[in-house]
Amino acid sequence: MKHLALAAGCLIAGHAAAQTSQTPPEELPVLNVYTYDSFTPDWGPGPAIAAAFEETCDCDVVFTPAGDGAALLSRLRLEGARSQADVVVGLDTSLMGAAKATGLFAETDVTADYDLPQTWTDTTFVPFDWGYFAFVGNEGADLPTSFRALADSDTSIVIQDPRSSTPGLGLLLWVKAAYGDEAPAIWDALSDNIVTVTPGWSEAYGMFLEGEADMVLSYTTSPAYHVIAEDDASKVAVPFEEGNYLQIEVAAKLAATDQPALADAFLQFLTGSEAQAILPTTNWMYPAVMPDEGLPPAFDQIVDPSKALLMSPDDAEAIRATALDEWRNALAR
């Protein structure tokens, strides 16, 4: 029984501690930013960006992590207009269509001189970084450079499930954008190369690192992490002849925010040089606006921007169900 009393005591103490840690010490206005999980840890971009913005805004920035991009949007939909969120950081171009349809987001007049492979016209969503999806493999291995070559080879790949992960959905749209009606045939040909399909990026990348497959679906910027953080140049991303699918990550202001001016200021700050310089080596993506000091050499572009593939948010949203059926039918056999 002593154990039980102790456990109860711990719970109450822990809960009380959790409660008090929520309230900021001073009465500054609070900007609540919802984002995906890997944005907020000490090694992510969140803390540095929050600190830099707090120096200019006389406010407290509170990041709330909510799973991945898709979970983030679901969380906002569940909370609806009651959401605490003022700003959301971390949706992407394949979620934008669904996000816009919720009516939860407000237009903003933030402008910047974007360095994106495509011109940006949307006035609700503000791009803050971007990357290409790419297959990543080991340097020195014979790595195919197109979907057709991959399908014809013995190269094994591990991919993510488009029903539960953003990169998985990206790959689905990539094949659809490159091959259109031929997509089912491509999936059919790829099926014997696919070792397995994982629920999320982490599992797939972990399996690749353990040697379960020759290549993994990830980003063109993945090798930069290994070079810069681990001094390991053994990983390479492969540009595909069909072009690589683009992922642009976006932020937006919530329509129901009680801090609209602060939210706009934050979005403007996010596209500024200071924040943009933080992003590459913490979020491992290309900056949406080139920071003044440029980029480390590991971030050299490997994909010709003219070969960037991207469906418009509306097209992506419209084609998703069909593409998913094709994918499932081809791989379920």
Interacting positions 22-41 with other proteins (CB under 8 A): 22, 37-38, 40-41
Q: Identify which of residues 292 and 332 has a Cβ nearer to other proteins in the complex.
A: 332
Find the binder of other proteins among 52, 146, 163, 179 (CB under 8 A): 163
Find the binder of other proteins among 28, 43, 51, 301 (CB under 8 A): 43
Distance of CA 103 to the CA centre of its chain: 22
Segment interacting with other proteins, rule: CB under 8 A, options 5-13, 111-119, 249-257, 272-280: 5-13
Sequence-distant (≥ 6) Cβ neighbours of residue 212 within 8 angstroms: 158, 195, 196
Binding mask 293-332 for other proteins (x = CB under 8 A): --------------------------------x-xx--xx
Q: Identify which of residues 59 and 110 has a Cβ nearer to other proteins in the complex.
A: 59
Find the binder of other proteins among 79, 115, 188, 274 (CB under 8 A): 79
Residues 83-142, interacting with other proteins (CB under 8 A): 84, 98
Cross-strand partners of 160: 198
- Angle CA(71)–CA(77)–CA(78) in degrees, nearest 5? 85
Q: Does 222 bind other proteins (CB under 8 A)?
A: yes
Q: Identify which of residues 107 and 232 has a Cβ nearer to other proteins in the complex.
A: 232
Q: Identify which of residues 115 and 212 has a Cβ nearer to other proteins in the complex.
A: 212
The amino acid present at 201, given as its one-letter code, is: W
Q: Identify which of residues 3 and 300 has a Cβ nearer to other proteins in the complex.
A: 3
Segment interacting with other proteins, rule: CB under 8 A, options 11-19, 114-122, 237-245, 262-270: 11-19
Q: Does 51 bind other proteins (CB under 8 A)?
A: no
**Number of chain residues interacting with other proteins (CB under 8 A):** 75
How far apart, in whole angstroms, are the C-alpha atoms of residue 308 and residue 303?
A: 8
Find the binder of other proteins among 28, 51, 78, 233 (CB under 8 A): 78
Q: Does 73 bind other proteins (CB under 8 A)?
A: yes
Q: What is the sign of the dihedral through the CA atoms of 44, 45, 50 and 51?
A: positive
Q: Identify which of residues 70 and 178 has a Cβ nearer to other proteins in the complex.
A: 70
Least Cβ distance, residue 135 to other proteins (angstroms): 16
The amino acid present at 330, given as its one-letter code, is: A
Residues 253-282, interacting with other proteins (CB under 8 A): none
Residues 280-299, interacting with other proteins (CB under 8 A): 284
Residue 133's nearest CA partner among 155, 156, 165, 163 is: 165
